[in-house]
Amino acid sequence: MMGGDEKIRIVDLHAFYGESHILHGIDMSVNQGELVTLLGRNGSGRSTTLRSIMNMVGRRTGQIVINGNETIHTPAHKIAHLGVGFCPEERAIFSSLNVEENLMLPPAVRSDGMSLEEIYEIFPNLYERRTSQGTRLSGGEQQMLAMARILRTGANILLLDEITEGLAPVIVRKLAEVLLMLKERGLTILLVEQNFRFAAPIADRHYVMEHGHIVEEVHANELEAKSEMLNTYLGV
Amino acid sequence: MATFLGINLFGLSGQLLVGLINGSFYALLSLGLAIIFGLLRIINFAQGAIYMLGAFFAWMALQYFGINYWAALILVPLAVGIIGVLMERFLLRPIANEDHLYSLLLTFGLALILQGIFTQTYGSSGLSYAIPESLKGGTRLPFMYLPNYRAWIIVASLTVCISTWWAIEKTKLGAYLRAGTENPQMMQAFGINVPLIVTITFGFGVALAGFAGVIAAPVYAVSPEMGSNILIVVFAIVVIGGMGSIGGAIITGLGMGVVEGLTKYFYPEASTTIIFLVMVVVLLVKPAGLFGKEA
């Protein structure tokens, strides 16, 4: 796939933490406005793929093109300014900052980010708790804060790692609504997800990972036909 | 002589004042250490030598260039801060990913080199620096005579400490610093240039010691050993307050100065050990320090 609508293109990506070789030649791409998931078991390299895009791994080789810019040699603090927002698995809410300080912390990377009012409208809980210490929030609220934080920056490529992990069904539904709303606005989303039932109805495509390789690419309309294969890979 | 319940109020308030003045230096130095430790996880053993450098720079500025005290108060911390920036950029950054023992040894070595250079050049007996004209004299208070310069030390130190605390706790730049202390990698992912913040922070933490050196010059002898003498106590204070706590460093610094002063009055024999005794007790009861967060 070529053309200007390709927001992320990864070619032959290898990633290392110290001596351990985690990713063994990943090829993938995500287009403008797409919601793509990385499926796979724990340890298959899905989080490392996101962290490699952010240049948060020890070493990486290959090509990572973001919004048309080759970034394999780009320092970590410059990646976000290409319009990328990263929501890590551990959420990384800062305990020394209150909710609003957490929200305001990341600098804007594009000009059309959501305003504080808009964010509080989508996540009313955060407004009520805006003066609480960031880590005093419930798991669900922290997840919303971690999402809201990157929406305010105007990032239009979102890398989301296990955002539903350990959350109550009502919050998972809320997150699905938010993702669909973001997709409608034309944002590009790469989602690492364990909860296949959460991902299946909202995603356009899925990549299945195993042992640091991409072993399968599944389009939304092929889910039915390939469900047996998916079950084998995901062990569900 | 004014006494109350057998206590000589002149003697007591005099020692309290000495305690507050020592505490002012402790606060400035431990604040610098705490800021540096918070973001860089480096225990800067050169902090004492930098304090000595500040005092010498003030002396040299006056002696060789006729730069007066007030100008030195601004210029010396600036110069020392620039030295700190270079030190971080060219000495500490290359070993930033190594074990912290390396940076500890490096700063310790730097301290010895600086101290050695100044001993070689100026001898170890100490030089004197005159109190600026406008701060000479003093004020008679009910129980004591308060020299103006001593009062100025307390005011200047507290002003700098409280402004620093405010800047870290209440401003956006401070929020970057606090968040960077907690999770530097995530800050990078947000697009914040953490290495730049690290360099500035180190320069600022070191500049605080330079500032302390300038205000110390007129009251203590400007000598190559002044830094190593005070640093041991300051380390004990940082341990008591809890590594990395900004407010804790300031309060503990002043508080321990006062404790030391009171001990000098009530039981002078223990005055040089009291801070270490407190440290032992604090370590036994609350290992993370009075203001530190349990890991």
Q: What are the DSSP calls for A134-185, one per residue? A: GGGS-HHHHHHHHHHHHHHTT-SEEEEESTTTT--HHHHHHHHHHHHHHHHT
Distance of CA A209 to the CA centre of its chain: 15
* pLDDT tier for residue A236 given thresholds of 50, 70 and 90: low
pLDDT of residue B140: 85
Q: Touching check for A76 and chain B: CB below 8 Å?
A: yes
Whether B253 shows a pLDDT value over 70: the answer reads yes
- The radius of gyration of chain A from alpha carbons, rounded to an integer in Å, stands at 17
For each of the domains in chain B, give its residue range(s) and CATH number, in order of start: 13-124+144-285 (1.10.3470)
Residue whose C-alpha is closest to residue B124's, from B221, B217, B54: B221
SS3 B54: helix
Domain map (residue ranges) of chain A: 34-44+76-234
Q: Which of B93, B105, B121, B128 is nearest to B220 (CA)?
A: B128
Q: Is the pLDDT of residue B1 over 60?
A: no
Summarize pLDDT for B33-82 with one digit per residue, the tens: 999 988 888 889 999 999 999 999 999 999 999 999 999 999 999 999 99
pLDDT per residue over B105-151, tens digit each? Answer: 999 999 999 999 999 999 888 898 989 988 888 888 877 888 999 99
DSSP A99-142: HHHHHH-SPPSSTTPPPHHHHHHH-HHHHHTTTSBGGGS-HHHH
pLDDT bucket at B2, cuts 50 / 70 / 90: low
Instruction: Calculate helix-pair angle for B9-40, B194-216, nearest 10 degrees.
Output: 160
Tell me which residue has tokens 């390299």: A45
Please choose, from the candidates A133, A143, A136, the residue with its C-alpha nearest in 3D space to the C-alpha of residue A171: A143
Q: Give A31-74 pLDDT, tens digit per residue.
A: 999 999 999 988 899 999 999 999 999 899 999 999 999 999 99
Q: Are B67 and B75 in contact (CB under 8 A)?
A: yes
Chain-centroid distance of CA B241 in Å reads 14
> What is the percent of chain A with per-residue pLDDT over 90, rounded to a whole number?
70
B171 touches chain A (CB under 8 A): no
Q: Please state whether A50 falls in left (phi above 0), alpha (psi between -120 and 50) or beta.
A: alpha
Write out the H or E segment, with its range, that includes residue A213: strand A213-219
In CATH terms, the fold of domain A34-44+76-234 is Rossmann fold (3.40.50)
CB spacing of A105 vs B175 below 8 angstroms: yes
Residues 6+ apart with CB under 8 A from A4: A68
Beta carbons of A56 and B185 less than 8 Å apart? yes
Contacts of B182 in chain A (CB under 8 A): 94-96
DSSP state of A220: G
Nearest-Cα residue of chain B relative to residue A54: B189
Report, as an integer, the average pLDDT of B149-156: 94
Residue A1: pLDDT band (50, 70, 90) is very low
- B183 with A80: Cβ contact below 8 A: no
User: How many CB atoms are closer than 10 A to CB B82?
Assistant: 14
The DSSP code for B91 is I
Q: Please state at what angle helix B69-87 crosses helix B194-216, rounded to 10 degrees.
A: 140
What is the DSSP code string of B258-269?
HHHHHHHHH-GG
Contact A86 B189 (CB under 8 A): yes
- Residue A163: pLDDT band (50, 70, 90) is very high
Cα B154 from Cα A236, distance rounded (Å):
68
Average pLDDT over residues A215-221: 91
Closest-CA residue of A relative to B194 is: A77
| pLDDT given at position B47 | 95
| Nearby residues of B209 by Cβ (< 8 Å), 6 or more positions away | B28, B29, B32, B47, B48, B50, B51, B54, B80
Residue in B172, B178, B183 nearest the CB of A92: B183
The reported pLDDT for the residue numbered B221 is 86
CA angle (A147 as vertex; A37, A71 as ends), nearest 5: 60
Model confidence pLDDT, tens digit, residues A108-124: 998 888 999 999 999 99
Q: What is the pLDDT of residue A3?
A: 47
The pair of structure tokens assigned to A165 is 């992990």
- In the structure, what pLDDT confidence band is assigned to residue B96 with cuts at 50, 70 and 90? confident
Amino acid at B291: F
pLDDT at A196 over 70: yes
The letter for the amino acid at B13 is S
Kindly give the pairing relationship between strand A35-40 and strand A205-210. Answer: parallel
d(CA B187, CA B181): 10
Question: What is the pLDDT, as a whole number, of residue A34?
Answer: 94
A148, A203, A222, B222, B227 from A183: Cα distances, Å = 15, 10, 21, 67, 60
Average pLDDT value for residue range A183-209: 92
B177 Cβ under 8 Å from any chain A Cβ = no
